[in-house]
Structure 1
């Protein structure tokens, strides 16, 4: 019996499309075709690969409206935020094309008795398992780095954004990428393990939860294949006594509600020193209280629905369990009536170690406010997490903030006196339960290549 998956508009609950699942046999055929395409693509000069990647970026800009409508319809992203996502993806393409030669070009080093050549060679087919929260960016982030390095790429996207996945496949081909170099697989989670075992698949990258990361990382390791994992986080933002409160509050609000809070590097825990806690809290409550959810297709809407009803229910359960464990719900915290998977802006206080709001990732518009005595306790609480993806420090003393960010904050990325998301020029990735490996800034281009030494006798 043929299995299928439906995509649902999270703002209305209406069915968008029904997609038949690919059989294992069809998936295997596509993997073999990807390997055959790789054998041809690897021989294309790096400069030519770069030009195709540049054209992908140009088409992303041209088709911004089409992709925006898809993202808003499939996962509820406010239409006003979609342009930023496609713009970032186009910038990633441009950066990759501009810097591929310096990142992937051959290097020479002398050694005793000869000359060494270091070359970065593609390894084959790379499987990407990606989530729904940034339907275009999550794909471009890993795919472009591997494609420009000469690999072929498979995409197992989240089922609720399969329309976006197929639109990207068409866009890549329209930009001149040979068929088979980027392939969308409409398969279920239970089919993915077989793909990792496939001899043609040489590497696996996943963005998702720690549980998914453990499963995929363990399977890849059992098959002796490299993996890159970008997992969740409960990013802490420290606000010290000399911080500019206007900019700190504005950045924290933006960092918490952007994309309905469904962002791995969202600002999630606000750790505020006692000296300014009350004033920071007053301003935070004032700004958060003014944000209401609404129709994501309306350009004026700042907060759309969560991507699926089950995600909304899980978030609400975390909030309720936190309240039962002693947290105070200052704002929100109630399931709204009516269609759609909306959730109100919520603020939890009096959160202590051991509660879900302290220990877990809250993937939605729920902020956690924690009072600490001083800088030392702020650093301790910020690092008191099994996660380590991003975070932030606010201080009027920039040198002090940079020192904390550089030397004392146990995360892969740190913001100082602001909130920034991924940047094409800078490495992206985490430590601890937030995963391993790096993307962006040229680092992703070297994750799935054979760094080969050629020793030439003199």
Structure 2
């Protein structure tokens, strides 16, 4: 089946590509494996030069690259520009900090010298989604290449031109042939590619179904995997919050990327004391959102990525009303060309309903009333997901409880959830495992190699001490 690039704002076919045969894919993996043999030995200073050049190209070609994003997946053009600039920031961050992150870590022991060194693993497969077609790739690409790994990318089938552009950017920046390649693959081919012995690990950002399938295979193959999957992030507002700022941010947090973001706020949990004021102003704000042609800079919400995405969101909203939820605004697909859905607010969703536990991937917000902080935390944690949480309160005691008790990968107090190259990013529960970004993300695909150097003439000491410890603990020496 052809891989098609379709403009979601018009439904028109832009370009189409044929997927690689299995043999052609194996040939590209062979090129990557050969590249790793020499690339891993290149001094980090040289990699940093290429990474800084990559950042410069992204900056210089901002208009063309952001236009490509908007054409292929419908993101408002201003959001596309921000995405490209964020990719450049990530490149600069790892160019500047990789040497520190990768430096050997000395650990005092009874031996002459003990330390941990960080070695690259080899060829890593990246399976990436369409919603941030550059950023999702670059937040893996920048640390992976700076660490000495090489990568092959299986991008989402609806953003093939973005995939090709990223590969071309990496080569133009000076990185050697084979260090980063985009593979046009059918979904069914991922199993074959992951099963190739030259692929040492896999990182997946995408749906829960994709994470289950690829994570299961990686586990069976005993290959390292990192999964960043869905989210149903809570946005908690308590009485002491700056209500004006909280409402303004809530609208932005729900509609970021036209609502198609794993870390977009989706469940708004508001204290009873301020609920009515929040609801009326939040609904008015959602009604004022500008929906339309994503190429226009004033537009805040563009089309959803595919017609199927609109169908799914429409069915989820209808399912909510069937079990007693009320639509406060929106709730319908928009007529005419393109995959548009009205900004929507729903309240009264029963906590025992199926839709309550699903991720709504579009500009649809769910409102919940909480009697106190205890109930707010209970509602926030009552989800199979655990990616991020935004909580709004100026009470220090409430802040401490929220940080300690919310079950998620990141808690953001009095601001919206966002990824940052300096901070670990990832989730728990069915939002996945492992981390991206920061030192933690860089080290996910590195071998923490322990090195112990005994002092001269210490043969007896090196053998006898582990034996004595093992005897005391009734454990076998390894």
TM-score, structure 2 length as denominator? 0.94
Query: Which residue of structure 1 lines up, in the alignment, with residue 70 of structure 2?
Result: 72
Between the aligned partners of 1:356 and 1:245, the Cα distance in structure 2 is: 31
Query: Which residue of structure 2 lines up, in the alignment, with residue 417 of structure 1?
Result: 414
How far 1:88 moved relative to its partner? 1.1
SS in structure 2 opposite 1:198? coil
The structure 1 segments of at least 4 consecutive aligned residues displaced by more than 4 Å after TM superposition are none
* 1:442/1:13 CA distance change after superposition, 3 Å: same
SS in structure 2 opposite 1:22? coil
Mapping of residues 338-353 of structure 1, within 5 Å: 338-353=336-351
How far 1:117 moved relative to its partner? 2.8
Between the aligned partners of 2:401 and 2:294, the Cα distance in structure 1 is: 38
| Paired residues of 1:292 and 1:344 also in contact (CA < 8 A) | no
2:387 counterpart of 1:400: no
> Structure 1 stretch 108-117 or stretch 87-96: which is displaced more?
108-117
Query: Which residue of structure 1 lines up, in the alignment, with residue 462 of structure 2?
Result: none
Between the aligned partners of 2:145 and 2:356, the Cα distance in structure 1 is: 39
2:424 to 397, 422, 427: 427
2:226 counterpart of 1:250: no
Between the aligned partners of 2:405 and 2:348, the Cα distance in structure 1 is: 25
| Paired residues of 2:388 and 2:427 also in contact (CA < 8 A) | yes
2:307 to 291, 309, 314: 309
1:82 to 71, 80, 83: 80
- Cα deviation, 1:321-349, whole Å, max 9, x if unaligned, reads 11101110111111221111111101100
How far 1:356 moved relative to its partner? 4.0
How far 1:46 moved relative to its partner? 1.4
How far 1:401 moved relative to its partner? 4.5
Query: Which residue of structure 1 lines up, in the alignment, with residue 7 of structure 2?
Result: 9
| Paired residues of 2:3 and 2:160 also in contact (CA < 8 A) | no
Between the aligned partners of 2:207 and 2:126, the Cα distance in structure 1 is: 14
| Paired residues of 2:393 and 2:399 also in contact (CA < 8 A) | no
> Structure 1 stretch 404-413 or stretch 36-45: which is displaced more?
404-413
2:197 to 196, 199, 204: 199
How far 1:234 moved relative to its partner? 0.5
SS in structure 1 opposite 2:194? helix
Radius of gyration: which is bigger? 2
How far 1:310 moved relative to its partner? 0.5
Between the aligned partners of 1:405 and 1:155, the Cα distance in structure 2 is: 37
2:187 to 168, 186, 189: 189
How far 1:208 moved relative to its partner? 0.8
- Cα deviation, 1:140-196, whole Å, max 9, x if unaligned, reads 011111111100101000011110110111011000011100000001100000111
Query: Which residue of structure 1 lines up, in the alignment, with residue 454 of structure 2?
Result: 457
Query: Which residue of structure 1 lines up, in the alignment, with residue 53 of structure 2?
Result: 55
How far 1:404 moved relative to its partner? 3.0
| Paired residues of 1:127 and 1:156 also in contact (CA < 8 A) | yes
How far 1:55 moved relative to its partner? 1.5
SS in structure 2 opposite 1:442? helix
| Paired residues of 2:373 and 2:398 also in contact (CA < 8 A) | no
SS in structure 2 opposite 1:128? strand
Mapping of residues 85-100 of structure 1, within 5 Å: 85-100=83-98
Between the aligned partners of 1:356 and 1:141, the Cα distance in structure 2 is: 33
* Count of matched residue positions in the alignment of Structure 1 and Structure 2: 455
Between the aligned partners of 2:354 and 2:293, the Cα distance in structure 1 is: 29
Structure 1 unmatched ranges of 5 or more: none
Between the aligned partners of 1:199 and 1:320, the Cα distance in structure 2 is: 46
Between the aligned partners of 1:354 and 1:141, the Cα distance in structure 2 is: 36
Query: Which residue of structure 1 lines up, in the alignment, with residue 442 of structure 2?
Result: 445
Query: Which residue of structure 1 lines up, in the alignment, with residue 473 of structure 2?
Result: none
| Paired residues of 1:11 and 1:304 also in contact (CA < 8 A) | yes
Between the aligned partners of 2:113 and 2:412, the Cα distance in structure 1 is: 43
SS in structure 2 opposite 1:347? strand
- Cα deviation, 1:366-401, whole Å, max 9, x if unaligned, reads 00000111111000000011100011111122x235
Query: Which residue of structure 2 lines up, in the alignment, with residue 115 of structure 1?
Result: 113
SS in structure 2 opposite 1:39? helix
Structure 2 unmatched ranges of 5 or more: 456-478
